[in-house]
Structure 1
Amino acid sequence: MAAVVGIRAWPRPVVLACGTLLVAGCYYGAGRLGLSQRLAADGAVVTPIWPPTGLAVACLLLFGPWCVPGIALGALLVIVSLGVPDAETVGIVAGNTAAPVCAWLMLRAVGFRVSLSRLRDGLALVFLGALTAMLVSSGAGVGMLLLSDKLPTDHLGIVWLAWWVGDAMGVVLVTPLLLLLYRARLPPPSVRWTEAVGLTVVVCVLVPLIMYSSVSVLFLAYPLLIWSALRFQLAGGMPCALFVSVMATVAARQEAGSFGRLTEVETMMKLQAFNGTLGLTALLLSAVISEQLNTRRSVERACHELVEALQHLNAGGPGTSGTSGTPRAPGGDKP
């Protein structure tokens, strides 16, 4: 008892300040990671995958609205790292902060579960959290650049599309992985460890060969993705999809493999289409398999409980529900 005397919990403002700085630092690190693989398209610089949006949505789903200041501070730090902030910086930061908040609010409204154990959760994350909510950040960012005359009108469509798809892919690919890592527990040793290691080796060997092949064989990545999702659900499907997407982005940036001999716009469109279909396939297929497995477990549990109840009833035998005592003669008198 004496060992705990004098120990006090940290004040709430200190906890919030530390949490804000932690979220901002993670957002900034994810932003720098995304900028390291940016592409040039029609004179504009775009990021095929923008991880900070996925990080921001995951933080809001897991920890709530106190993460908003950290998201805004992280977005500001990313913009400052690119150059001196201008007047439009406020609008871009506001858009990058409002989009994850809108995603969080819409997902809460439809009863989203962070376990992603239902198909409806995967559909909600894709169509509400990614495709719909990220219209806010892309619209605000492109609008501010257009108002400041930093974006020519003939580049408006391609820059907006790249911004929107990059933010959406960040949510589709990064958010499920972070939600999975937050609740991950090391499974007991089993035969599936051998399969998991074998799958990892196969993916790490074949995916670079697929991406850097002079023949366009990007479709060969889908059997690996399906194998991962069928056998390991989100724990296999999302890391595989993210790795394939990163390798495809690296190959596109180097103009190698299937992305060689293409114009900048063609490279961006092909890469984003590939990443988009890959992320959707991994997320929705994993959600479908998880939902089926949960349904089967529920049915098995209900059947087991029913069998136990029937065994309990049969164990009593006939006549156990009657009254006990000395049997009577037909006339009602004792023999």
Structure 2
Amino acid sequence: MADVRRTRLRRHGLTVLRICVVAALYFGSAEVGLLQELVRSQVTPLWPPSGIALAALLLCGARVWPGIALGAFLANVSLGPSLVAVLVITAGNTLAPVCSYALLCRAGFRVRLDRLRDALSLILLGAFTGMLVSATTGTTTLLLAGVLDEGFWPTWSVWWTGDAMGVLVVTPVLLVLRSARWPKHVPASRWAEALLLMAATAGVGLVETSSSPLLFLGFPLLIWAAFRFQLAGAAPCALAVSTFTIVSAARGAGPFAGHDLLTSMIALQAFNGSAALTSLLVGAVISRRNQTEREIARACGQLAEVVAGITTADQRLGLPGEEDEHDGRDKRPERVERVERVERVERTRQRPSPRI
């Protein structure tokens, strides 16, 4: 009885610890996300807490939702127009990742992201559908509180874009880190390629944050990262490319110059959604291909072992090959009959003689 009680206490303590960690990560990432705020120092085009919240639910289960609620309350308590508005916004920020988690579980989502359907589910259900809850709840609350200066739809577009981008670019990185293993016996050329990819991504980021409208330069890097490093390279590369694009949109530079807030958010959502879709889909397809190749190699190895075993048995019994070397006739039926005859002789020899 005491052991059962200690086990339950340990389990509850671990759950409380996870809730506290999720709340701390949510609050810390919210402070980082607010550095690029666009509306009322509260609405940002990249909201990392939404990605952290969904990843926590996928990895730890639904029991950590109080940590999401606590982190959302701490992040909004100093920003909201009133306590009631803060509580409603907190409820929306908590309910959105929970809805995304429920939709992904319903769709049979796997955290390894090694299937095409997993990537599509994360994009369509986890990001675009689930985050409608927080965007609609938060924007409606600010409208009813009478503190919206940009209008409902521009604010709603920024809110939805930020939450969806948090899921698209942050959640895959956390899922990759959870299952990441330090590679063994990696050749120097592989490290050189990874460093070259990082340098190229940084260079493209500098171009994106300048006045030059060259956002499309990020797509070759995404395909390169996904094709050569699968999801482990595609997810961080997509996060970097999207972050540089969001900085450009917040500054009104490049292709976002001279447009109103709603138009810029539509363009930003389209670009970041395309980038995430490209990286996740290509990474999932390549991972699936590699897994299929490993399964084929394993099956070929097992078949080779079976053939080697049959050949060894034939040599031990002194039987002829598949075909007679003189007339070319198939000797397999004769070989099977001869093996059975030898086995019967062996069983008769091992049988004890009857007593008289």
SS of residue paired to 1:96: helix
Q: CA RMSD in A?
A: 2.3
Which protein has the bigger helix share? 2
User: What are the Cα deviations for residues 120-141 of structure 1, in whole angstroms up to 9, with x where unaligned?
Assistant: 1111111111111111111221
Q: Map of 1:29-48 to 2, 5 A cutoff?
A: 29-40=28-39, 46-48=43-45
User: What are the Cα deviations for residues 164-191 of structure 1, in whole angstroms up to 9, with x where unaligned?
Assistant: 2221111111111100001111001323
Q: Map of 1:94-133 to 2, 5 A cutoff?
A: 94-133=91-130
Match of 1:235 in 2: 232
Aligned mates of 1:51, 1:84 — CA distance in 2:
22
Shift of the alpha carbon at 1:248?
A: 1.6
Shift of the alpha carbon at 1:197?
A: 1.7
Match of 2:191 in 1: 193
User: What are the Cα deviations for residues 201-255 of structure 1, in whole angstroms up to 9, with x where unaligned?
Assistant: 222233313431x432111111111111110011111111111111122222233
Aligned mates of 2:308, 2:93 — CA distance in 1:
60
Structure 1, 82-91 or 106-115: larger mean CA deviation: 82-91
Paired AA for residue 123 in structure 1: L
User: What are the Cα deviations for residues 29-73 of structure 1, in whole angstroms up to 9, with x where unaligned?
Assistant: 111111111224xx8963111111110110011011221000000
Task: Evaluate the alpha carbon distance shift between residue 206 and residue 159 of structure 1 in structure 2; reply closer, same or farther with a 3 A threshold.
Answer: closer
Match of 2:268 in 1: 271
Shift of the alpha carbon at 1:83?
A: 4.9
Match of 2:341 in 1: 322
Q: TM-score when scaled to structure 1? A: 0.86
Match of 1:329 in 2: none
Q: TM-score when scaled to structure 2? A: 0.81
Task: Evaluate the alpha carbon distance shift between residue 33 and residue 291 of structure 1 in structure 2; reply closer, same or farther with a 3 A threshold.
Answer: same
Residue 183 in 1 paired to residue 179 in 2? Answer: yes
Aligned mates of 1:79, 1:44 — CA distance in 2:
11
Larger RCO: 1 or 2 (CA < 8 Å, sep 6+): 1
Task: Evaluate the alpha carbon distance shift between residue 264 and residue 160 of structure 1 in structure 2; reply closer, same or farther with a 3 A threshold.
Answer: closer
8 A contact 2:58–2:101 mirrored in 1: yes
8 A contact 2:157–2:262 mirrored in 1: no
Match of 1:68 among 65, 90, 100: 65
Aligned mates of 1:304, 1:13 — CA distance in 2:
47
Paired AA for residue 130 in structure 2: A
Paired AA for residue 186 in structure 1: W
Residue 142 in 1 paired to residue 142 in 2? Answer: no
Aligned mates of 2:78, 2:292 — CA distance in 1:
48
- Size of the aligned set, in residue pairs, is 315
Q: Map of 1:254-265 to 2, 5 A cutoff?
A: 254-265=251-262
8 A contact 1:130–1:171 mirrored in 2: yes
Aligned mates of 2:283, 2:74 — CA distance in 1:
35
Aligned mates of 1:44, 1:51 — CA distance in 2:
16
Paired AA for residue 110 in structure 1: A
Match of 1:171 in 2: 167
Paired AA for residue 300 in structure 2: C
Match of 1:333 in 2: none
Task: Evaluate the alpha carbon distance shift between residue 322 and residue 143 of structure 1 in structure 2; reply closer, same or farther with a 3 A threshold.
Answer: farther
8 A contact 1:172–1:283 mirrored in 2: no
Paired AA for residue 168 in structure 1: A
Paired AA for residue 313 in structure 2: G
Aligned mates of 2:78, 2:63 — CA distance in 1:
24
Task: Evaluate the alpha carbon distance shift between residue 105 and residue 311 of structure 1 in structure 2; reply closer, same or farther with a 3 A threshold.
Answer: same
Residue 162 in 1 paired to residue 158 in 2? Answer: yes
